[in-house]
Amino acid sequence: MDSARLRWLSVDESKRLLNACAPDFRKLVQAGLLTGCREGELLAVRARDFDAESETLLIADGKSGKPRRVPLTSEGVALFESLTAGEGEAAPLFARQDGTPWHRVAIIRAMQEACVNGRIDPPATFYTLRHTYASHLVQCGTPHLEAVRAVHGAEN
């Protein structure tokens, strides 16, 4: 396995990264840190996929091809409430400042810039946020297998 995929951010690094992100990218990074979702999964999320009552986010088409519900913390609920407020059900939740959709190269560049500005060394990738989410779950006392299931859902 690639060593970059084994990297995760400390709480301090996560804060520095968020603070170094442009506002439109910060929302996407924050969602990655709070859900452990892949960038493509988050980019496919629509306002209707957030369920405030169950405090979950529906990932309709994950890597496994099976839908899954991601449980959200109170911080995650607050983020998705702010992202969905006043939006129509089909509205995508993440777009660039100019209204265009995020794409892979733009995400890579935004992450590289945020890592430089946030003094994150070695630099993180968006996939690093997935490992960070699981690592922070374990550090908070979640059993390792539960943390893996939280990230992968029914995939494992």
Instruction: Return the higher-pLDDT residue of 149 and 74.
Output: 74
Compute the distance between CA of residue 92 and CA of residue 116 in angstroms, rounded to an integer. Answer: 28
Report the C-alpha dihedral over residues 87, 64, 124, 34, rounded to 10 degrees.
40
Higher pLDDT, 101 or 143: 101
| Mean pLDDT of the region 131-149 | 59
Superfamily name with CATH number, domain 3-155: Intergrase catalytic core (1.10.443.10)
Identify the band that residue 143 occupies on the pLDDT scale cut at 50, 70 and 90: very low
**CA 142/CA 147 separation, integer angstroms:** 6
pLDDT the model gives residue 111? 97
Asked if pLDDT for residue 2 goes beyond 90, the answer is no
Tokens of 4: 């970059």
Task: Supply the pTM of this predicted model.
Answer: 0.85
Asked whether residue 22 carries a pLDDT value surpassing 90, the answer given is: yes
Give the N- to C-terminal CA distance of the chain in Å, as an integer: 18
Residue 8's pLDDT band (cuts 50, 70, 90):
confident
What's the rounded mean pLDDT across residues 101-128?
A: 96
Residue 55 has pLDDT above 50, yes or no: yes
- In the chain, where the domains are located: 3-155
pLDDT number for residue 155: 46
Averaged pLDDT score across all residues of the chain: 86
Amino acid type, 154: A
107-119 pLDDT, tens digit each: 999 999 999 999 9
